[in-house]
Amino acid sequence: MSGIRSDGSWRNWAGNQRSRPVRIARPVSESDVMDVVREAATDGLGVRVVGAGHSFTAIARTDDVLVTLDDMTGIVAVDEASGRVRVRAGTRLCDLNPQLDAMGLAMSNLGDIAYQSVAGAISTSTHGTGLGFRSIAADVVGLRLVTAAGAVVVLDDDHDPDLRDVARVGLGALGVVTEVTLQCVPAFNLHAVEEILPIDDVLAGFDAFAEGTDHTEFFWMPHTGNALLKRNTRTTEVPTPARNARHAMKRRWNRFKNKELLENVAFGALNHLGRLRPSFIPRLNGRVLAGAGRAEYLTTSYDVFASPRRVRFYEMEYAVPRRDGLEAFRRVQALIDTLDRPISFPIEFRILGGDDIPLSTASGRDSCFIAVHVFRGTPYEDYFRGVEAIMDDYDGRPHWGKLHFQTADTLAGRYPGWDRFHSARERLDPRRRFTNDYLDRVLGP
């Protein structure tokens, strides 16, 4: 999943970022990472780390030394009293969550995919949804980091907690994260309700949905009047057999049909057809949601939060202040009507509580997140630039791992902790061992 290929090249999951590093390092221990960084410094080479390769930006791209932490995975230690869990940085979220569940623990919030590595997810400010909850990085209480000097720094409550708080979202610009300590919560289930509603009804009721349900999001299909509304309520209730086998089978079928057939198999086929015949897209979009049935189910939190994503795409996502979210969404709707090419992917809308991490997309404010996508191989620049222009009006912050056109000059004023992050960068990597073209653009050279 990291994207490293047998010929020594690398490409990301979406296929839009590629490179051929001078060398690829596969450390198996923290001391190996230290050696890799020191050797790169001796050779005058930069270092970048790749997790699952699920970012759409060039954040992991390098022609120097590419480090994969695929061999540094697994749980290191668990403090049962506090619920704190130390994990190696390369651990995939999809592997970690079942292990936590077996120990009676869970991550407090997750995004809608779980392919990412732990370090990759926190470093790019990956998040889920829920007004009363925060990003994955906000639950980081400890880090181990290999700096540009090839030394290890320990960051936790007792060792430089201020730097720890900055480094939780580090973009890989502060060093190589080797271990992460997560503040977990007791395992919980989610009562999920997914249903198709008129988009106007969803927008009119969204604030009430968000305030009355733990985790709320919706997906609007462009060129249609409908949206898929998802509401997940946290519970310790244990799933019980349905009253009869026929009812249980229907519920399982609706869930499978929505998550696997409609979101992947049929959706992929319709996108292939839409790329060949763009004029068919509005009609095809209507069929996607028309085939979805109401799904209601109760299961483990991680199994509800994340869904399989087998159809490959390009994505842009912006965070705007909560008060501006619905207005910004309506402007994106209007923009789509002006484009030369119909849009075949849904617009995703989520909400999240604010945090205090300098480069978090929700830093200092409750935020709404608007994500736009196109099928892989489809032209996207006019669409994405149009969306970005809308988000600029609300001091929108781009997801660090998703496509955008911002620079350090345009971003600096949007983050209250911008200078705090740069002070940490000067301290840990004054010679910019961990930079690349993308970071030079968004953080400054």
Arithmetic mean of pLDDT, 63-77: 98
Question: Residue 350: its pLDDT value, please?
Answer: 98
Residue range 227-270, pLDDT digits in tens? 999 999 999 998 866 544 444 444 553 444 344 434 554 566 56
Q: For residue 425, give the DSSP letter.
A: H
Q: 101, 118 in Cβ contact below 8 A?
A: no
Task: Say how far apart CA 414 and CA 364 lie, in whole Å.
Answer: 10
Q: Which residues contact 381 (CB under 8 A, 6 or more apart)?
A: none
pLDDT of the residue at 265: 47
Structural domains of the chain sorted by starting position, each given as residue range(s) with its CATH number in brackets: 1-187+406-445 (3.30.465.10), 189-398 (3.40.462.10)
- pLDDT reported for residue 366: 98
E strand spans, 101-240: 105-106, 140-146, 152-155, 176-183, 185-186, 189-198, 215-220, 226-235
- Over the chain, what is the mean pLDDT? 92
Q: H helices within 213-300, ranges in order?
A: 245-256, 267-276, 281-290
Whole-number pLDDT of residue 276: 58
Q: What is the spatial distance between Cα 117 and Cα 72, in angstroms, rounded to a whole number? A: 10
Amino acid found at 249: M
Confidence of residue 434 (pLDDT cuts 50, 70, 90): very high
Cα(44)–Cα(39) distance, integer angstroms: 9
Q: Is the pLDDT of residue 282 over 80?
A: no
CB burial readout 393-404, b (16+ within 10 A) else e: ebbbbbbbbbbb
Check pLDDT > 70 for residue 425: yes
Q: Please tell me the predicted confidence (pLDDT) of residue 54.
A: 94
Quick: pLDDT tens for 332-359. Answer: 999 999 999 999 889 999 999 999 999 9
Question: What pLDDT, on the 0 to 100 scale, is given for residue 263?
Answer: 55
Tell me how many degrees the CA angle 254-260-264 measures, rounded to the nearest 5. 135
How far, CA to CA in Å, does 49 sit from each of 64, 90, 110, 243?
11, 10, 22, 51
**Are the C-beta atoms of 443 and 182 separated by less than 8 Å?**
no
Element at 295 (helix H, strand E): strand 295-300
> Does 289 have pLDDT greater than 90?
no
Q: What is the pLDDT of residues 92-121, one digit of tens each?
A: 999 999 999 999 999 999 999 999 999 999
